[in-house]
Protein backbone atom coordinates (compact mmCIF):
# COMPACT_ATOMS: atom_id res chain seq x y z
CA UNK A 1 0.00 0.00 0.00
CA UNK A 2 1.33 3.48 -0.87
CA UNK A 3 1.81 5.82 2.08
CA UNK A 4 -0.23 9.04 2.07
CA UNK A 5 2.99 10.95 2.76
CA UNK A 6 6.57 9.78 2.51
CA UNK A 7 9.41 12.12 3.17
CA UNK A 8 13.03 11.07 2.78
CA UNK A 9 16.12 13.01 3.82
CA UNK A 10 14.35 16.24 3.10
CA UNK A 11 16.42 19.40 3.52
CA UNK A 12 15.36 22.97 2.87
CA UNK A 13 17.78 25.86 3.02
CA UNK A 14 16.37 29.33 2.43
CA UNK A 15 18.70 31.98 1.10
CA UNK A 16 18.08 35.51 2.25
CA UNK A 17 19.50 38.41 0.26
CA UNK A 18 20.37 41.04 2.80
CA UNK A 19 22.07 44.40 2.41
CA UNK A 20 25.24 42.95 3.94
CA UNK A 21 25.41 39.80 1.83
CA UNK A 22 23.60 36.47 1.89
CA UNK A 23 22.36 34.41 4.81
CA UNK A 24 21.40 30.76 4.67
CA UNK A 25 18.63 29.51 6.92
CA UNK A 26 18.56 25.74 7.41
CA UNK A 27 14.83 25.36 7.94
CA UNK A 28 14.73 21.57 7.58
CA UNK A 29 17.58 19.09 7.83
CA UNK A 30 17.38 15.48 6.64
CA UNK A 31 13.78 14.89 7.65
CA UNK A 32 12.49 11.37 7.12
CA UNK A 33 8.94 10.39 8.04
CA UNK A 34 5.88 8.75 6.57
CA UNK A 35 2.14 8.68 7.15
CA UNK A 36 0.25 5.50 6.35
CA UNK A 37 -3.14 5.81 4.68
CA UNK A 38 -5.88 6.51 7.21
CA UNK A 39 -3.44 7.60 9.93
CA UNK A 40 -3.25 10.86 11.84
CA UNK A 41 0.32 12.09 12.29
CA UNK A 42 1.01 15.02 14.56
CA UNK A 43 4.08 17.13 13.90
CA UNK A 44 4.88 18.97 17.07
CA UNK A 45 7.42 21.72 17.35
CA UNK A 46 8.00 25.22 18.66
CA UNK A 47 7.83 28.24 16.35
CA UNK A 48 10.52 28.10 13.70
CA UNK A 49 10.88 24.30 13.91
CA UNK A 50 10.20 23.81 10.20
CA UNK A 51 6.59 22.59 10.32
CA UNK A 52 5.19 25.03 7.75
CA UNK A 53 8.23 24.49 5.55
CA UNK A 54 7.48 20.74 5.52
CA UNK A 55 3.89 21.46 4.49
CA UNK A 56 4.92 23.87 1.74
CA UNK A 57 7.26 21.21 0.33
CA UNK A 58 4.41 18.67 0.29
CA UNK A 59 2.19 21.14 -1.58
CA UNK A 60 4.84 22.15 -4.14
CA UNK A 61 4.70 25.76 -2.90
CA UNK A 62 8.49 25.53 -2.50
CA UNK A 63 11.05 23.01 -3.81
CA UNK A 64 13.46 21.01 -1.63
CA UNK A 65 17.17 21.77 -1.49
CA UNK A 66 17.85 18.02 -1.31
CA UNK A 67 15.83 14.90 -0.53
CA UNK A 68 12.30 14.02 -1.54
CA UNK A 69 8.69 14.41 -0.52
CA UNK A 70 5.95 12.20 -1.96
CA UNK A 71 2.16 12.41 -1.71
CA UNK A 72 0.48 9.08 -2.49
CA UNK A 73 3.73 8.06 -4.12
CA UNK A 74 3.88 11.06 -6.46
CA UNK A 75 6.09 14.14 -6.54
CA UNK A 76 4.14 17.17 -5.28
CA UNK A 77 4.73 18.93 -8.62
CA UNK A 78 2.36 16.36 -10.11
CA UNK A 79 -1.18 17.84 -10.14
CA UNK A 80 -2.60 14.35 -9.64
CA UNK A 81 -0.86 14.20 -6.23
CA UNK A 82 -2.37 17.51 -5.12
CA UNK A 83 -5.85 16.59 -6.33
CA UNK A 84 -6.34 14.37 -3.29
CA UNK A 85 -5.10 16.89 -0.74
CA UNK A 86 -7.09 19.37 1.34
CA UNK A 87 -5.04 22.14 2.94
CA UNK A 88 -5.79 24.46 5.82
CA UNK A 89 -3.06 27.12 5.93
CA UNK A 90 -1.78 28.81 9.05
CA UNK A 91 -3.68 32.13 9.42
CA UNK A 92 -6.06 31.56 6.48
CA UNK A 93 -7.11 34.71 4.63
CA UNK A 94 -10.18 33.85 2.53
CA UNK A 95 -11.59 36.56 0.22
CA UNK A 96 -13.40 38.67 2.75
CA UNK A 97 -15.98 40.24 0.44
CA UNK A 98 -17.33 36.82 -0.46
CA UNK A 99 -19.87 35.08 1.76
CA UNK A 100 -18.78 31.83 3.35
CA UNK A 101 -20.87 29.86 0.87
CA UNK A 102 -19.46 31.74 -2.15
CA UNK A 103 -15.93 31.12 -0.95
CA UNK A 104 -16.44 27.39 -0.40
CA UNK A 105 -18.16 27.13 -3.83
CA UNK A 106 -15.20 28.91 -5.39
CA UNK A 107 -12.77 26.47 -3.73
CA UNK A 108 -14.89 23.47 -4.80
CA UNK A 109 -14.92 24.78 -8.38
CA UNK A 110 -11.12 25.11 -8.35
CA UNK A 111 -10.84 21.50 -7.25
CA UNK A 112 -12.90 20.42 -10.27
CA UNK A 113 -16.38 19.99 -8.82
CA UNK A 114 -19.29 21.15 -10.98
CA UNK A 115 -23.11 21.39 -11.02
CA UNK A 116 -25.24 19.38 -8.62
CA UNK A 117 -22.23 17.61 -7.14
CA UNK A 118 -20.61 20.95 -6.25
CA UNK A 119 -23.84 22.26 -4.69
CA UNK A 120 -24.26 19.09 -2.63
CA UNK A 121 -20.64 19.10 -1.39
CA UNK A 122 -20.79 22.80 -0.44
CA UNK A 123 -23.97 22.20 1.57
CA UNK A 124 -22.51 19.12 3.25
CA UNK A 125 -19.25 20.76 4.35
CA UNK A 126 -20.96 23.94 5.56
CA UNK A 127 -23.09 21.71 7.79
CA UNK A 128 -20.04 19.69 8.84
CA UNK A 129 -18.25 22.81 10.13
CA UNK A 130 -21.50 24.22 11.56
CA UNK A 131 -21.44 27.28 9.33
CA UNK A 132 -24.71 26.59 7.50
CA UNK A 133 -26.46 29.33 9.51
CA UNK A 134 -24.00 32.00 8.33
CA UNK A 135 -23.73 31.21 4.63
CA UNK A 136 -25.12 34.60 3.50
CA UNK A 137 -22.76 36.63 5.69
CA UNK A 138 -19.59 38.15 4.22
CA UNK A 139 -16.38 36.70 5.62
CA UNK A 140 -15.17 40.16 6.79
CA UNK A 141 -17.95 40.00 9.40
CA UNK A 142 -16.76 36.63 10.77
CA UNK A 143 -15.01 36.00 14.08
CA UNK A 144 -11.63 34.21 14.10
CA UNK A 145 -13.33 30.90 14.87
CA UNK A 146 -15.85 31.29 12.02
CA UNK A 147 -13.09 32.19 9.54
CA UNK A 148 -11.16 29.11 10.62
CA UNK A 149 -14.23 26.92 10.09
CA UNK A 150 -14.87 28.32 6.61
CA UNK A 151 -11.22 27.75 5.74
CA UNK A 152 -11.57 24.18 6.95
CA UNK A 153 -14.73 23.75 4.84
CA UNK A 154 -12.62 24.91 1.86
CA UNK A 155 -10.09 22.15 2.68
CA UNK A 156 -12.80 19.49 2.97
CA UNK A 157 -14.99 20.36 0.00
CA UNK A 158 -13.20 18.14 -2.52
CA UNK A 159 -13.45 15.14 -0.17
CA UNK A 160 -9.65 14.81 0.12
CA UNK A 161 -7.86 11.57 1.00
CA UNK A 162 -5.18 13.58 2.81
CA UNK A 163 -5.81 16.60 5.00
CA UNK A 164 -2.88 18.89 5.78
CA UNK A 165 -3.64 21.19 8.68
CA UNK A 166 -1.22 23.94 9.73
CA UNK A 167 -1.95 25.04 13.32
CA UNK A 168 -5.72 24.38 12.97
CA UNK A 169 -6.67 25.29 16.53
CA UNK A 170 -4.27 28.09 17.33
CA UNK A 171 -5.93 31.29 18.55
CA UNK A 172 -9.36 29.69 19.02
CA UNK A 173 -11.45 29.62 22.18
CA UNK A 174 -12.32 26.33 23.91
CA UNK A 175 -15.52 25.77 21.92
CA UNK A 176 -13.90 26.61 18.61
CA UNK A 177 -11.06 24.24 19.35
CA UNK A 178 -13.42 21.44 20.31
CA UNK A 179 -15.36 21.82 17.08
CA UNK A 180 -12.22 21.59 14.96
CA UNK A 181 -11.07 18.58 16.99
CA UNK A 182 -14.44 16.85 16.41
CA UNK A 183 -14.16 17.43 12.67
CA UNK A 184 -10.66 15.93 12.58
CA UNK A 185 -11.90 12.87 14.51
CA UNK A 186 -14.83 12.47 12.09
CA UNK A 187 -12.50 12.70 9.10
CA UNK A 188 -10.21 10.06 10.58
CA UNK A 189 -13.24 7.75 11.03
CA UNK A 190 -13.97 8.17 7.31
CA UNK A 191 -10.44 6.95 6.57
CA UNK A 192 -8.89 10.31 5.68
CA UNK A 193 -5.14 10.59 6.39
CA UNK A 194 -4.20 13.68 8.37
CA UNK A 195 -0.97 15.64 8.82
CA UNK A 196 -1.56 17.85 11.82
CA UNK A 197 1.14 20.44 12.48
CA UNK A 198 0.78 22.20 15.78
CA UNK A 199 2.59 23.68 18.74
CA UNK A 200 -0.41 22.84 20.96
CA UNK A 201 0.55 19.63 22.75
CA UNK A 202 -2.88 18.55 24.10
CA UNK A 203 -4.37 18.70 20.58
CA UNK A 204 -1.69 16.44 19.17
CA UNK A 205 -2.04 14.14 22.18
CA UNK A 206 -5.81 13.91 21.71
CA UNK A 207 -5.92 13.49 17.94
CA UNK A 208 -2.77 11.89 16.61
CA UNK A 209 -1.74 8.23 16.65
CA UNK A 210 1.83 9.00 15.74
CA UNK A 211 3.89 12.03 16.55
CA UNK A 212 7.09 13.54 15.19
CA UNK A 213 8.85 16.13 17.31
CA UNK A 214 10.67 18.68 15.23
CA UNK A 215 13.10 21.18 16.74
CA UNK A 216 15.26 23.61 14.80
CA UNK A 217 14.57 21.76 11.54
CA UNK A 218 15.59 18.37 12.93
CA UNK A 219 13.49 15.38 13.85
CA UNK A 220 14.35 14.66 17.48
CA UNK A 221 11.77 11.96 18.30
CA UNK A 222 9.03 10.08 16.54
CA UNK A 223 6.74 7.16 17.23
CA UNK A 224 3.28 6.20 18.43
CA UNK A 225 1.81 8.71 20.89
CA UNK A 226 0.84 5.80 23.16
CA UNK A 227 4.51 4.86 23.60
CA UNK A 228 5.38 8.38 24.67
CA UNK A 229 2.64 8.29 27.30
CA UNK A 230 3.75 5.17 29.11
CA UNK A 231 2.57 5.21 32.71
CA UNK A 232 5.15 6.43 35.17
CA UNK A 233 6.15 3.45 37.39
CA UNK A 234 2.40 2.67 37.79
CA UNK A 235 1.47 5.30 40.32
CA UNK A 236 -2.09 6.39 40.92
CA UNK A 237 -3.87 9.49 42.11
CA UNK A 238 -6.78 8.99 44.53
CA UNK A 239 -9.25 11.67 45.54
CA UNK A 240 -11.30 11.25 48.75
CA UNK A 241 -13.87 13.37 50.48
CA UNK A 242 -14.68 13.46 54.17
CA UNK A 243 -11.48 11.96 55.54
CA UNK A 244 -8.60 13.64 57.35
CA UNK A 245 -5.04 13.36 56.06
CA UNK A 246 -3.87 12.26 59.54
CA UNK A 247 -6.04 9.14 59.40
CA UNK A 248 -3.99 7.93 56.43
CA UNK A 249 -0.62 9.34 57.44
CA UNK A 250 0.84 5.97 58.39
CA UNK A 251 0.78 4.95 54.70
CA UNK A 252 3.00 7.89 53.72
CA UNK A 253 1.53 8.89 50.37
CA UNK A 254 2.01 12.37 48.85
CA UNK A 255 -0.95 14.34 50.20
CA UNK A 256 -2.75 17.55 49.23
CA UNK A 257 -5.70 18.55 51.41
CA UNK A 258 -8.03 21.33 50.24
CA UNK A 259 -11.03 21.74 52.59
CA UNK A 260 -12.83 18.38 52.72
CA UNK A 261 -11.11 17.11 49.61
CA UNK A 262 -7.98 15.01 49.91
CA UNK A 263 -5.77 14.15 46.93
CA UNK A 264 -3.19 11.39 47.36
CA UNK A 265 -0.51 10.06 45.05
CA UNK A 266 0.85 6.64 45.75
CA UNK A 267 2.21 3.44 44.24
CA UNK A 268 -0.50 1.32 42.59
CA UNK A 269 0.24 -1.52 45.04
CA UNK A 270 -0.62 0.67 48.05
CA UNK A 271 -3.88 2.00 46.59
CA UNK A 272 -6.08 -0.81 47.93
CA UNK A 273 -4.84 -0.40 51.52
CA UNK A 274 -5.41 3.36 51.31
CA UNK A 275 -8.95 2.98 49.99
CA UNK A 276 -9.77 0.53 52.80
CA UNK A 277 -8.29 2.82 55.45
CA UNK A 278 -10.21 5.81 54.05
CA UNK A 279 -13.48 3.88 53.99
CA UNK A 280 -12.99 2.76 57.59
CA UNK A 281 -12.64 6.43 58.47
CA UNK A 282 -16.00 7.12 56.72
CA UNK A 283 -14.27 8.76 53.74
CA UNK A 284 -15.68 8.54 50.23
CA UNK A 285 -13.56 7.71 47.14
CA UNK A 286 -14.29 10.28 44.41
CA UNK A 287 -11.81 9.16 41.76
CA UNK A 288 -8.79 7.02 41.09
CA UNK A 289 -6.63 7.37 38.02
CA UNK A 290 -3.19 6.33 36.83
CA UNK A 291 -0.56 9.07 36.76
CA UNK A 292 0.62 9.32 33.20
CA UNK A 293 3.73 10.66 31.61
CA UNK A 294 2.27 13.35 29.35
CA UNK A 295 3.31 14.19 25.81
CA UNK A 296 4.28 17.57 27.27
CA UNK A 297 6.95 15.85 29.41
CA UNK A 298 8.31 14.03 26.35
CA UNK A 299 8.34 17.26 24.39
CA UNK A 300 10.12 19.20 27.13
CA UNK A 301 12.70 16.41 27.49
CA UNK A 302 13.29 16.54 23.74
CA UNK A 303 13.73 20.31 23.79
CA UNK A 304 16.15 20.09 26.73
CA UNK A 305 18.26 17.33 25.26
CA UNK A 306 18.32 18.84 21.78
CA UNK A 307 21.84 20.05 21.02
CA UNK A 308 20.38 22.58 18.68
CA UNK A 309 18.67 25.40 20.55
CA UNK A 310 15.08 26.19 19.57
CA UNK A 311 15.09 27.89 16.18
CA UNK A 312 16.85 26.93 12.99
CA UNK A 313 20.53 27.22 12.14
CA UNK A 314 21.55 30.43 10.45
CA UNK A 315 24.87 30.38 8.70
N1 LIG B 1 10.63 32.23 2.98
C2 LIG B 1 11.53 32.15 3.95
N3 LIG B 1 12.74 32.75 3.82
C4 LIG B 1 13.67 32.66 4.78
N5 LIG B 1 13.52 31.96 5.92
C6 LIG B 1 12.33 31.35 6.12
C7 LIG B 1 11.28 31.40 5.16
N8 LIG B 1 10.24 30.68 5.62
C9 LIG B 1 10.61 30.20 6.82
N10 LIG B 1 11.87 30.60 7.14
C11 LIG B 1 12.64 30.24 8.35
O12 LIG B 1 12.70 28.83 8.40
C13 LIG B 1 12.55 28.36 9.74
C14 LIG B 1 11.37 27.40 9.82
O15 LIG B 1 10.19 28.14 9.62
P16 LIG B 1 8.74 27.46 9.56
O17 LIG B 1 8.78 26.29 8.65
O18 LIG B 1 7.76 28.54 9.25
O19 LIG B 1 8.56 26.95 11.07
P20 LIG B 1 7.24 26.58 11.92
O21 LIG B 1 6.10 26.45 10.98
O22 LIG B 1 7.61 25.30 12.62
O23 LIG B 1 7.04 27.69 12.90
C24 LIG B 1 12.42 29.60 10.59
O25 LIG B 1 13.67 29.94 11.11
C26 LIG B 1 11.93 30.66 9.62
O27 LIG B 1 12.33 31.93 10.03
MG1 LIG C 1 4.26 27.40 11.01
For ligand 1, whether the C-beta of 51 sits within 6 Å is: yes
* Ligand number with the minimum distance to the CA of 45: 1
For ligand 1, whether the C-beta of 45 sits within 6 Å is: yes
DSSP 195: E
Q: Which atom of ligand 1 is nearest to the CA of 55?
A: 17
DSSP 142: -
What is the per-residue pLDDT for 252? 58
**Cα separation, 187 vs 166, whole angstroms:** 16
Alpha helices in 87-242 (DSSP H): 100-110, 115-128, 144-156, 174-190, 201-207, 225-228
55 CA distance to ligand 1 middle (Å): 11
**Cα separation, 274 vs 240, whole angstroms:** 10
The sign of the CA dihedral 288, 290, 295, 299 is positive
| Structure-derived torsion over alpha carbons of residues 302, 87, 160, 101, reported in degrees to the nearest 10 | 140
What is the per-residue pLDDT for 194? 97
What is the per-residue pLDDT for 230? 64
**Cα separation, 284 vs 45, whole angstroms:** 42
For ligand 1, whether the C-beta of 12 sits within 6 Å is: no
β-bridge mates for residue 33, sequence order? 7
For ligand 1, whether the C-beta of 50 sits within 6 Å is: yes
* Ligand number with the minimum distance to the CA of 170: 2
71 and 5 in contact (C-beta within 8 Å)?
A: yes
β-bridge mates for residue 164, sequence order? 87, 195
Q: By three-state DSSP, how is residue 8 classified? A: strand
212 CA distance to ligand 1 middle (Å): 18
For ligand 1, whether the C-beta of 312 sits within 6 Å is: yes
pTM confidence score: 0.82
| Per-residue pLDDT in tens (0 to 9) along the chain, 315 residues | 789 999 999 999 999 888 888 889 999 999 999 999 999 999 998 889 999 999 999 999 999 999 999 999 999 999 999 899 999 999 999 999 999 999 999 999 999 999 999 999 999 999 999 999 988 899 999 999 999 999 999 999 999 999 999 999 988 888 889 999 999 999 999 999 999 999 888 889 889 999 999 999 999 989 998 887 765 567 788 898 988 777 776 655 677 777 888 888 888 888 888 888 888 888 899 998 877 777 877 787 788 777 555 455 555
Q: By three-state DSSP, how is residue 105 classified? A: helix
Instruction: Return the number of other C-beta atoms located less than 10 Å from residue 75's C-beta.
Output: 12
For ligand 1, whether the C-beta of 91 sits within 6 Å is: no
For ligand 1, whether the C-beta of 52 sits within 6 Å is: yes
Nearest CA to ligand 1 atom 18: 52
Q: Which atom of ligand 1 is nearest to the CA of 312?
A: 25
Q: By three-state DSSP, how is residue 51 classified? A: helix
What is the per-residue pLDDT for 168? 95
* Burial classification of residue 264, based on how many CB atoms lie within 10 Å of its CB (0-12 exposed, 13-18 middle, 19 or more buried): buried
> For the chain, how many helices (H) and strands (E)?
10, 14
For ligand 1, whether the C-beta of 283 sits within 6 Å is: no
DSSP 315: -
43 CA distance to ligand 1 middle (Å): 15
DSSP 167: S
For ligand 1, whether the C-beta of 89 sits within 6 Å is: no
Residues with CB under 5 A from ligand 2 (ion): 51-52, 90
> b or e along 3-38 (b: 16 or more beta carbons within 10 Å of the residue's beta carbon)?
bbbbbeebbbbeeeeeeeeeeebbbbbebebebeeb
- Domains present along the chain, CATH in parentheses: 5-84+160-228 (3.40.50.300), 231-292 (3.30.70.980)
What is the per-residue pLDDT for 231? 52
65 and 11 in contact (C-beta within 8 Å)?
A: yes
Q: By three-state DSSP, how is residue 292 classified? A: strand
What is the per-residue pLDDT for 235? 78
For ligand 1, whether the C-beta of 43 sits within 6 Å is: no
DSSP 235: E
**Cα separation, 1 vs 34, whole angstroms:** 12
Residue whose CB lies within 8 A of the most ligand 1 atoms, among 47, 48, 313, for a mutation test: 48
What is the per-residue pLDDT for 63? 97
Q: By three-state DSSP, how is residue 227 classified? A: helix
274 CA distance to ligand 2 middle (Å): 48
What is the per-residue pLDDT for 234? 73
What is the per-residue pLDDT for 297? 76
What is the per-residue pLDDT for 55? 97
Query: Of the candidates 72, 90, 92, 94, which has an alpha carbon nearest to the alpha carbon of residue 82?
Result: 72
Amino acid sequence: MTAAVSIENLTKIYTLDLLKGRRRVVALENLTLSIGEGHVMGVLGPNGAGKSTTIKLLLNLIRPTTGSARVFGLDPSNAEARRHVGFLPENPAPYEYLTGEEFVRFAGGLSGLRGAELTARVKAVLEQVQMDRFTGVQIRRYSKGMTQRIALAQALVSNPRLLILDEPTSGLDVLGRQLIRDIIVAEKKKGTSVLLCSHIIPDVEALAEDVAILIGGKLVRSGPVSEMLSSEGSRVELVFEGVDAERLASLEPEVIQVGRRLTLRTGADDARALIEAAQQAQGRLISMQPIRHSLEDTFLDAVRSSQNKVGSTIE
